Each structure stands twice: as C-alpha cells, then as structure tokens.
C-alpha cells in the first residue's frame, strides 16, 4: 500500500519535472536566453594581487597599512566612511598613543555631537575612543553630493565582495575606455552620463570616477614611491585590515590549536590502537 502510493507520488513528481524540462528546453530553442555582459569576457575577473596578509602564514605589513591609511585619509575619506573602525584601532597598525590622539584630533571630518550647554546639534574634534566619523550626515546627503550614488562604507569591503582585496585593487586601477567590440556586442552597456567605464565592476560602469590618477598623488613618509599601482595596493591592504583586524591573531591561534590537535590526534590514535590491540575488527 505504502509502496504503491509512493510510486504514484514519485511518478507525479517525475512527470511534472519532465513537463518543466520540456518547457525549459523548448524555451531555449525558440528564444534562447540573452547572454548577460557579466557572463562574457568583457567583464573581467579581479587582477592577481599578492598581499603579505595572504595565506596561512599571512601577517600584516604595518608600514604598508600606514601607507594605505594615508591613501584612505587623503583620497577615499572624502566620500567613504569606515564607520566600524575606531581611531584607537590604529594602534594595531603601529601608531602610538600620542599619534592616535593627534590623528583623531586633526581628522578633517568633525565628530557629530551636541552642544553641552544648549543640547543643540553640534560637532567636536574626535578622540581615540570615537569611531571614524562619516563624511556625510546621512544617505540622502551622500546621494545629493554624489550624483545620486551612495559611496559604500568601506569597513567590511574586502569581505563583502567576491574577490576581496583583489577586487578593490582592480576597481581602483581598472578604469579603461570601452572597446568597440564591447559596444557592438552590448550597446546597452555604453557608459551613461555621470558613470565611468570599469570592466571589473559587475555592471561595467561605476559611479565613482577614477580617484588614483597620477603617481605622487600622495606623499609617503617612508620613502616608498607612490605610483598609482602602489597606492592602490596599499589602500587595498588597508581595507583587508579594516575588514579583518583579527587576522594575525587568528592565524597565530590557528597554528597553536592545530599543533595541539595534531598531538591530541596522535595520542588518541595510540590509545585506540592500544585498546583494540587484541580484538580483530
């Protein structure tokens, strides 16, 4: 009884699936689905980017993070927030207390506050305990100032995009004019007014204009030559840190745990062999 009923139900599901399959195949033949530009080679995968934080032994290069922070401060911070990061966190990338205090105090964007006398909306200089203030008061203000585009918060950027840091690096260095072949194959993706062609962006056009344009745009304190490529690399490395400040301690703890567990496995294997030595199984 159960089996006969089951076969009936099974036959019903198989029949409906065959019906769906028939229509899918027919649809493919009569009106094949249009290929999206994202599925073609016109849309490029992120460039290869090697950072010291990559891999199992990955560690941050603090000088690189400081350079990346400088690029963020002088270029990105005008539009992009890193609202999850606090000034005090900068101690992790090698700044001392006094430097952090100075950076917070001198930060160009003021910290929203209230007037302690009147309770009215006011601003004050930041202190190390503050998170980085956002360049715009709210989404509406951000869109109003950016041609209706919203510059995303960068705190988690490398974890929030496929490709991670390589994606950030590729967007920053990937601006290029659209080729004739692309425009012929996909006339729809021709760059509209106010957008900028970038084949690393899913829709092929990004609202952000090219920001890293000339070598020497930022003057590095440590003597590193600030080429566009170098600045893009450094700020991408900095983005990895803002997204994963725990990365180094995670790797260190990982090795300690793995070694402990390897010893545990070895001992457990020995115990297993010992207990079972007289029993065939």
Partner 1 sequence: MSFPWAKHYAPTNPLMKWVDERLPLPRFVYNAVGAGYPVPRNLNYFWNFGVLAGAALAIQIVTGIVLAMHFAANAGVAFDSVEHIMRDVNGGWFLRYAHATGASMFFVVVYIHIFRGLYYGSYKAPREMVWLLGVVIFLLMMATAFMGYVLPWGQMSFWGAQVITGFFSAIPGIGDTIRVWLLGGYAPGDATLNRFFSLHYLLPFVIAAVIILHIWALHIPGSSNPTGVEVKGEQDTVPFHPYYTAKDGMGLGVFLLIFALLLFFAPNYLGHPDNYIPANSLSTPAHIVPEWYFWPFYAILRAFSSNFILDAKLWGVLAMFGSILLLFFLPWLDSSPVRSANYRPVYRTFFWILVVDILILGWCGGSAATPFYAMLSQICAAYYFAHFLIIIPIISRAERPRPLPNSITEAVLSKHGGTSPAQTAPAAE
Interface residues toward partner 1, by CB under 8 A: 2-3, 6-7, 9-11, 13-25, 27-28, 32-33, 56, 84, 89, 152, 155-156, 159-162, 202, 243, 245-246, 250-251, 253-255, 257-258, 261-262, 264-265, 268-269, 271-272, 274-276, 278-281
The residue among 48 and 275 lying less far from partner 1, judged by its C-beta, is 275
**Whole-angstrom distance between the N-terminal and C-terminal Cα of the chain?**
40
The residue among 7 and 221 lying less far from partner 1, judged by its C-beta, is 7
- The vertex-159 CA angle with 154 and 160, nearest 5°, equals 70
Q: How far is the CB of 166 from partner 1 (least distance, A)?
A: 13
Q: How far is the CB of 243 from partner 1 (least distance, A)?
A: 8
The residue among 32 and 116 lying less far from partner 1, judged by its C-beta, is 32
Q: How far is the CB of 74 from partner 1 (least distance, A)?
A: 25
The residue among 44 and 161 lying less far from partner 1, judged by its C-beta, is 161
Q: How far is the CB of 174 from partner 1 (least distance, A)?
A: 19
Beta bridge pairs of residue 114:
121
Residue 211: closest CA among 74, 75, 49, 68: 75
Contact present, 215 and 185 (Cβ < 8 Å): no
The residue among 136 and 230 lying less far from partner 1, judged by its C-beta, is 136
The residue among 159 and 225 lying less far from partner 1, judged by its C-beta, is 159
Q: How far is the CB of 276 from partner 1 (least distance, A)?
A: 6
Q: How far is the CB of 60 from partner 1 (least distance, A)?
A: 15
The residue among 153 and 229 lying less far from partner 1, judged by its C-beta, is 153
Q: How far is the CB of 128 from partner 1 (least distance, A)?
A: 14
């Amino acid at each position: 009884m159960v089996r006969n009923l089951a076969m009936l139900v099974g036959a019903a599901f198989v029949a409906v699936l065959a019906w769906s399959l028939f229509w899918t195949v027919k649809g493919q033949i009569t009106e094949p689905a249009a290929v999206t530009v994202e599925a073609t080679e016109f849309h490029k995968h992120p460039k290869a980017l090697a950072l010291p934080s990559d891999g199992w032994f990955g560690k941050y290069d603090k000088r690189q993070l400081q350079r990346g922070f400088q690029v963020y401060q002088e270029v990105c911070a005008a539009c992009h927030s890193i609202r999850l990061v606090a000034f005090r966190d900068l101690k992790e990338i090698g700044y001392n207390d006094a430097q952090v205090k100075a950076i917070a105090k001198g930060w160009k964007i003021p910290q929203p506050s209230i007037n302690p006398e009147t309770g009215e909306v006011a601003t004050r200089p930041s202190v190390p305990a503050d998170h980085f203030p956002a360049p715009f008061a709210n989404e509406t203000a951000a869109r109003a100032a950016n041609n209706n585009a919203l510059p995303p918060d960068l705190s988690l950027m490398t974890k929030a995009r496929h490709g991670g840091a390589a994606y950030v690096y590729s967007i920053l260095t990937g601006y290029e004019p659209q080729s004739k072949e692309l425009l012929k194959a996909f006339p729809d993706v021709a760059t509209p007014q106010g957008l900028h062609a970038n084949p690393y962006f899913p829709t092929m056009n990004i609202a952000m204009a090219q920001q890293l344009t000339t070598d020497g745009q930022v003057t590095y304190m440590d003597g590193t030559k600030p080429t566009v490529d170098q600045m893009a690399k450094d700020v991408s490395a900095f983005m990895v840190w803002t997204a994963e400040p725990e990365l180094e301690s995670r790797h260190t703890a990982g090795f300690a745990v793995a070694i402990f567990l390897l010893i545990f496995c070895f001992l457990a294997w020995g115990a297993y062999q010992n207990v079972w030595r007289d029993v065939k199984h």
